[in-house]
Amino acid sequence: MQLLYKVRVNNMVSNEKSNINNDVRTITLV
C-alpha cells in the first residue's frame, strides 16, 4: 500500500510538472 501511494504521488507530481510546462509553452506561443 505504501509503495502504491508513493507511485501515485510521483505520478501526480510529474503530471503537475508537465502541465506547468504546457502552460509555459502556450504562453510562449501567444
Instruction: Convert the pLDDT of each residue in 1-30 to its tens digit.
Output: 678 888 888 888 888 888 888 887 777 776
> Can you give the pLDDT at residue 1?
60
pTM above 0.75, yes or no: no
1-30 burial code (b ≥16 CB/10 A, e <16): eeeeeeeeeeeeeeeeeeeeeeeeeeeeee
Residues 6+ apart with CB under 8 A from 22: none
30 vs 1, 2, 12, 13, CA distance in Å?
43, 42, 27, 26
Closest C-alpha among 17, 13, 30 to residue 5: 13
Q: What is the pLDDT of residue 30?
A: 61
According to the model, what pLDDT value does residue 4 have? 81
